[in-house]
Structure 1
Amino acid sequence: MGIVYEDLHNYSVTHRSDFWRFTFSFLSLVYEGPIPSVVVTETARIDSIPEWFSGVHLNWAENVLFAGNEAGKPVYSSGKEDGKIAILEVKEGMTQQVRPVTWQELRTRVGRLSQAMRARGVHKGDRIAVVANNSVDTLTVFLATTSIGGIFSSISTDVGARGILERLSQIRPKFVFVDDRALYNRKEIDIRPVMQQICQGLREFTEFQGVVALVRFPNRPADITAIAKSYKLADFLSVATSDTLIFERCRFSDPFLIVYSSGTTGKPKCIVHCIGGVLLNGCKESRLHRSIDHTSVHLQYTTTGWIMYLVSVLSLVLGARIVMYDGSPFVPDPANLIRLASSTGVTHLGISPRFLQTLRENNISPRKVADLSRLQTLSSTGMVLSDSLFEWVYDEAFPSTIHLDNSSGRTDLAGAFTAGNPLLPLYVGGCQSKALGLVVEVFEAGQNTDGSIQKGNSLPIGQAGELVCTATFPSMPVNFWGNGGPRRYFESYFSQFDNVWTHGDFVMVHPTTKQIFFLGRADGVLNPSGIRFGSAEIYGVIEASFADQIADCVCVGQKRVQDTDEKVVLFLLLRPGHIFTNKLVDEIKSAIRRQLSPRHVPQFVFETPEIPVTFNGKKVELPVKQIVSGNSITPSRAIANSKCLDYYYQFSKDDVLHAASQPSAKL
Structure 2
Amino acid sequence: MTWLPDPVGVRDARIVHFAQWVADRGLAAFDDVTDYRELHAWSVASPGDFWGAVADFFAVDWVTPPSDTLAQSRMPGAEWFPGGTLNFGHHLVRAGAADQDAVVLVSEDGVHTSLTYGQLRAQSAAVAGHLRALGVEPGDRVAAYLPNCVEGVVAFVATALIGAVWAQTGLDYAAQSAAERMAQLSPRVLIAGTGYWFGGRVHDRRPEARALRDLLPGLQHTITVETAGLPAAAPDLNVKLTPINIDSAVNSDAVVNIDPTVNVDEKINVDSGVGGGVGQVNVDSGVDVRAGSGGGTWRDALAAEPVREALTVPFDHPLWVLFTSGTTGRPKGIVHGHGGILLEQLVSPGLHMDLRAEDTFFWYTTPNWMMWNAQVCGLLHGATNVLYDGKPTAPATDALWGIVADLGVTVFGTSPGYLEASQRAGLEPEVPSLRLVGVTGSVLPAAANEWFRANVSERVQLGSMSGGTDICGIFVASAPNTPVFDGEISAAALGAAVEVWDTGGMPVPAGTPGEMAITGPMPSMPLRFWDDTGDVRMRDTYFDMFPGVWRHGDLIVRTERDTVVILGRSDATINRHGVRLGSAEIYAAVADLVADALVVGVEEPDGGYWMPLFVVGDAEPDRIRRVVAERTSPRHVPDDVIAVARLPHTRTGKRLEVPVKRILQGADPGRVIDRGAVDDAEALDALIAAARERRSKP
Question: TM-score of the superposition, structure 1-length normalised?
Answer: 0.88
**Secondary structure of residue in 1 paired with 2:91:** helix
Amino acid at match of 1:313: V
Equivalent-residue separation in structure 2 for 1:11 and 1:390 (angstroms): 30
Q: CA deviation at 1:279?
A: 0.6
Describe the shift of the 1:297–1:485 C-alpha distance in structure 2 as closer, same or farther (beyond 3 A): farther
Amino acid at match of 1:84: Q
Q: CA deviation at 1:601?
A: 1.7
- CA shift digits 1:380-404 (9 cap, x unpaired): 11111111112111122x2211111
**Secondary structure of residue in 2 paired with 1:532:** strand
1:45 aligns with one of 74, 77, 83? 74
> Are the equivalent residues in 2 in contact too, given 1:128–1:151 (CA < 8 A)?
yes
In the alignment, what sits opposite 2:380? 317
Match status 1:258 vs 2:321: yes
> Are the equivalent residues in 1 in contact too, given 2:197–2:228 (CA < 8 A)?
no
2:583 aligns with one of 535, 547, 556? 535
Equivalent-residue separation in structure 2 for 1:100 and 1:188 (angstroms): 20
Equivalent-residue separation in structure 1 for 2:341 and 2:687 (angstroms): 37
2:545 aligns with one of 486, 496, 508? 496
> Are the equivalent residues in 2 in contact too, given 1:210–1:231 (CA < 8 A)?
yes
- CA shift digits 1:294-322 (9 cap, x unpaired): 11110111111111111111111111111
Amino acid at match of 1:120: L
Equivalent-residue separation in structure 2 for 1:595 and 1:91 (angstroms): 41
Equivalent-residue separation in structure 2 for 1:461 and 1:149 (angstroms): 45
Equivalent-residue separation in structure 1 for 2:435 and 2:540 (angstroms): 40
> Are the equivalent residues in 2 in contact too, given 1:88–1:322 (CA < 8 A)?
yes
> Are the equivalent residues in 2 in contact too, given 1:192–1:224 (CA < 8 A)?
no
Q: CA deviation at 1:221?
A: 4.4
In the alignment, what sits opposite 1:435? 493
Amino acid at match of 1:529: H
Equivalent-residue separation in structure 2 for 1:316 and 1:235 (angstroms): 24
Equivalent-residue separation in structure 2 for 1:354 and 1:144 (angstroms): 34
Equivalent-residue separation in structure 1 for 2:396 and 2:550 (angstroms): 43
Describe the shift of the 1:485–1:395 C-alpha distance in structure 2 as closer, same or farther (beyond 3 A): farther
- CA shift digits 1:201-228 (9 cap, x unpaired): 12xx33x112211011458443343764
**Secondary structure of residue in 2 paired with 1:223:** coil
> Are the equivalent residues in 1 in contact too, given 2:669–2:688 (CA < 8 A)?
no
Q: CA deviation at 1:627?
A: 2.8
In the alignment, what sits opposite 1:570? 613
1:306 aligns with one of 366, 369, 372? 369
Equivalent-residue separation in structure 1 for 2:491 and 2:320 (angstroms): 28
2:645 aligns with one of 603, 609, 616? 609
Equivalent-residue separation in structure 2 for 1:60 and 1:618 (angstroms): 30
Equivalent-residue separation in structure 2 for 1:504 and 1:607 (angstroms): 29
- CA shift digits 1:68-100 (9 cap, x unpaired): xxxxxxxxxxxx222222222221112xx4333
Describe the shift of the 1:234–1:295 C-alpha distance in structure 2 as closer, same or farther (beyond 3 A): closer
Q: Which moved more, 1:14-23 or 1:320-329?
A: 320-329
In the alignment, what sits opposite 2:23? none
Q: CA deviation at 1:238?
A: 7.8
1:22 aligns with one of 39, 45, 53? 53
In the alignment, what sits opposite 2:603? 559
Equivalent-residue separation in structure 2 for 1:652 and 1:297 (angstroms): 51
2:434 aligns with one of 363, 370, 375? 375
**Secondary structure of residue in 1 paired with 2:591:** helix
In the alignment, what sits opposite 2:38? 7
1:237 aligns with one of 286, 293, 301? 301
**Secondary structure of residue in 1 paired with 2:336:** strand
Describe the shift of the 1:235–1:196 C-alpha distance in structure 2 as closer, same or farther (beyond 3 A): same
Equivalent-residue separation in structure 2 for 1:234 and 1:543 (angstroms): 45
Q: RCO higher in 1 or 2 (8 Å CA, sep ≥ 6)?
A: 2
- CA shift digits 1:346-392 (9 cap, x unpaired): 1100111111122222221113xxxx222111011111111111211
Describe the shift of the 1:654–1:218 C-alpha distance in structure 2 as closer, same or farther (beyond 3 A): closer
- CA shift digits 1:392-445 (9 cap, x unpaired): 11122x22111111111120011010111111221101211100011111111x
Describe the shift of the 1:192–1:596 C-alpha distance in structure 2 as closer, same or farther (beyond 3 A): same
Q: CA deviation at 1:260?
A: 0.2
Q: Which moved more, 1:263-272 or 1:337-346?
A: 337-346
Describe the shift of the 1:227–1:255 C-alpha distance in structure 2 as closer, same or farther (beyond 3 A): closer
In the alignment, what sits opposite 2:281? none
Equivalent-residue separation in structure 2 for 1:559 and 1:302 (angstroms): 35
Equivalent-residue separation in structure 1 for 2:644 and 2:416 (angstroms): 22
Q: CA deviation at 1:180?
A: 1.2
Match status 1:269 vs 2:342: no
Equivalent-residue separation in structure 1 for 2:573 and 2:81 (angstroms): 39
Amino acid at match of 2:520: A
In the alignment, what sits opposite 2:461? 403
Q: Which moved more, 1:398-407 or 1:596-605?
A: 596-605
Q: CA deviation at 1:35?
A: 4.1
Equivalent-residue separation in structure 2 for 1:607 and 1:169 (angstroms): 39
**Secondary structure of residue in 1 paired with 2:600:** strand
Describe the shift of the 1:608–1:655 C-alpha distance in structure 2 as closer, same or farther (beyond 3 A): same
Gaps of at least 5 residues in structure 2 are 1-30, 241-293
In the alignment, what sits opposite 1:644? 686
Amino acid at match of 2:500: V
In the alignment, what sits opposite 2:225? 214
Gaps of at least 5 residues in structure 1 are 68-79, 447-453, 657-667
> Are the equivalent residues in 2 in contact too, given 1:156–1:304 (CA < 8 A)?
yes
> Are the equivalent residues in 1 in contact too, given 2:223–2:238 (CA < 8 A)?
no
Q: CA deviation at 1:59?
A: 0.6
Equivalent-residue separation in structure 2 for 1:590 and 1:120 (angstroms): 64
Match status 1:385 vs 2:444: yes
In the alignment, what sits opposite 2:563? 515
Question: TM-score of the superposition, structure 2-length normalised?
Answer: 0.84
2:65 aligns with one of 28, 31, 34? 34
Amino acid at match of 2:401: I
**Secondary structure of residue in 1 paired with 2:115:** strand
Describe the shift of the 1:89–1:603 C-alpha distance in structure 2 as closer, same or farther (beyond 3 A): closer
Q: CA deviation at 1:485?
A: 6.5
In the alignment, what sits opposite 1:61? 89
Amino acid at match of 1:572: V
Equivalent-residue separation in structure 1 for 2:220 and 2:183 (angstroms): 13
In the alignment, what sits opposite 2:103? 87
**Secondary structure of residue in 2 paired with 1:117:** helix
Q: CA deviation at 1:650?
A: 4.2
Equivalent-residue separation in structure 1 for 2:487 and 2:299 (angstroms): 52
Equivalent-residue separation in structure 1 for 2:394 and 2:623 (angstroms): 36
> Are the equivalent residues in 2 in contact too, given 1:505–1:521 (CA < 8 A)?
yes
In the alignment, what sits opposite 2:250? none
Amino acid at match of 1:60: F
In the alignment, what sits opposite 1:487? 536
**Secondary structure of residue in 2 paired with 1:108:** helix
- CA shift digits 1:524-573 (9 cap, x unpaired): 111111010111111110014x1xxx22111111211112x433221222
Amino acid at match of 1:375: L
Amino acid at match of 1:92: E
Match status 1:190 vs 2:221: no
Equivalent-residue separation in structure 2 for 1:303 and 1:392 (angstroms): 26
Equivalent-residue separation in structure 2 for 1:226 and 1:595 (angstroms): 55
- CA shift digits 1:488-515 (9 cap, x unpaired): 1111111111211111111111113x22
**Secondary structure of residue in 1 paired with 2:669:** coil
**Secondary structure of residue in 2 paired with 1:167:** helix
Describe the shift of the 1:495–1:93 C-alpha distance in structure 2 as closer, same or farther (beyond 3 A): same
Describe the shift of the 1:633–1:288 C-alpha distance in structure 2 as closer, same or farther (beyond 3 A): same
**Secondary structure of residue in 2 paired with 1:589:** helix
Describe the shift of the 1:238–1:138 C-alpha distance in structure 2 as closer, same or farther (beyond 3 A): closer
Q: CA deviation at 1:326?
A: 1.2
Q: CA deviation at 1:142?
A: 0.3
**Secondary structure of residue in 2 paired with 1:46:** coil
Q: CA deviation at 1:280?
A: 0.3
> Are the equivalent residues in 1 in contact too, given 2:202–2:228 (CA < 8 A)?
no
> Are the equivalent residues in 2 in contact too, given 1:315–1:322 (CA < 8 A)?
yes
